[in-house]
Amino acid sequence: MTILTLAKALNEGMRKAMEDDSKVLVMGEDVGKLGGVFRVTDGLQKDFGEQRVIDTPLAESGIIGTAIGLALRGYRPVCEIQFDGFVFPAADQIITQLAKMPLRSLGKLRLPVVVRIPCGGGIGAVEHHSESPEAYFTHTAGLRVVACSNPVDGYAMIQQAIRCEDPVVFFEPKRRYWEKAEVDVDSSDWTPFDEAKVVRQGTDATLLAYGPMVKTCLEAAKASEDDGRSLEVVDLRSLNPLDVSKVTESVRRTGRCIVVHEAPVYNGFGAEIAARVTEECFYNLQSPVLRVGGPSTPYPPSRLEDHYLPDLDRVLHAVDRAFAF
């Protein structure tokens, strides 16, 4: 067991993937000498060279577009988009090409490209550095969309994403980069990365979260003990596909379901979950599925972000509403 931060766990995961397969490349802005603005790729260029760890020009569409070309030549590029709000220049390549080219080829072409995106708020950043754009990508067929929430999953999931034959959009909760945990770096006995995990068992309500909000939900579940409430927390991990059976199995037991994400509630990923849970668990529900998320506004200036981001109290408030229904 090794104690790793999430950033270091991702780094070690990429390093392992690069050692295992010489076709794995890392590319993006500042990923080489600097090691990425969050140091997630720290040391990789030094050890694997400039041919495999590529500092690219500052153009996100170019990063994804050339990664597609490299994948067509048999490489497995791992692209870093420096910040969530900078992914949009690449959205065209991701949506019209990366997601659709395998289908366009009737399965003859594979694009094992990973698009890593540090996401979410909570670090006091300027505009475009705190967003949660996952719903745009979950709405695009052909992409797998996952979000890690902790070092153990980060180490495993980045390697699973790199090995996956489909393109994967990989969200990393940037404010959790410095969270630590014990990681067994020698094991590869991992839960499939499109499966959800019950990270805390409970009987009275299910909290569904992913990425940065998993920790918040675990804290909320702990705090709820004082009120005599037993909350189950499910880390969804994969948003496309969604592990529907694990979600519905939990909600059928607890009878209450609250989805928590940083992204705006309106048309957010929680809407999909609410619809599915309602459809599949209708007779088990004791209250409507509730959603906790950011207001349906642009992400605010950082002096307001504590009000914007769902926190312990916002989650507990929703729990109260679910129990009061």
Partner 1 sequence: MTADASRGAEAPPELIQLLTPEGERVEHPDYDIDLTPEEVRGLYRDLTLVRRVDLEAVALQRQGELGLWASLLGQEAAQIGSGRALTEADMAFPTYREHGVAWCRGVDPVNLLGLFRGVNHGGWDPAEHNFHLYTIVIGSQTLHAVGYAMGIQRDGAEAASIVYFGDGATSQGDVNEAFIWASVFNAPVVFFCQNNQWAISEPLEKQTRIPLYRRASGFGFPGVRVDGNDVFACLAVTRKALAEARSGQGPMLIEAFTYRMGAHTTSDDPTRYRVAAELEGWKLKDPIERVRAYMFKNQIADQDFFDAIDAEADELGRDVRKRCLALPDPEPLAIFDHVYVEPHSLMDAERAEFATYLEGFEA
Q: Which residues partner with 231 through β-bridges?
A: 205
# binding residues, partner 1 (CB under 8 A): 46
CA–CA separation, 34 and 24 (whole Å): 19
* 96 touches partner 1 (CB under 8 A): yes
- Alpha helix stretches (DSSP H) within the chain: 6-20, 44-48, 60-72, 91-92, 101-104, 134-138, 151-163, 213-224, 244-254, 269-281, 305-308, 312-324
CB of 307 to partner 1, least distance (A): 35
Q: Is 230 helix (H, G, I), strand (E, B) or coil?
A: coil
Is the Cβ of residue 219 or residue 272 nearer to partner 1 in the bound state?
Answer: 272
Backbone phi, then psi, for 97, in 5-degree steps? Answer: -115, -60
Give whole-number Cα distances, 192 to 23, 232, 257, 268, 273, in Å. 22, 21, 24, 25, 20
* 59 touches partner 1 (CB under 8 A): yes
Residue 307 annotated as catalytic: no
* 105 touches partner 1 (CB under 8 A): yes
CB of 150 to partner 1, least distance (A): 23
Is the Cβ of residue 75 or residue 137 nearer to partner 1 in the bound state?
Answer: 75
Spatial neighbors of 178 by CB under 8 A, at least 6 apart, are 5, 6, 7
Mark 249-288 with x for binding to partner 1 (rule: CB under 8 A) and - for no binding: ----------------------------------------
* 69 touches partner 1 (CB under 8 A): yes
List 61, 201, 287, 302, residue binding partner 1 (CB under 8 A): 61
* 217 touches partner 1 (CB under 8 A): no
Q: Which of 128, 129, 139, 317 is catalytic?
A: 129
Q: How far is CA 240 from the centre of its chain?
A: 10
* 72 touches partner 1 (CB under 8 A): yes
Binding residues for partner 1 (CB under 8 A)? 51, 56-57, 59, 61-62, 64-75, 89, 92-93, 96-97, 100-110, 141-142, 144, 164-166, 194, 240-244
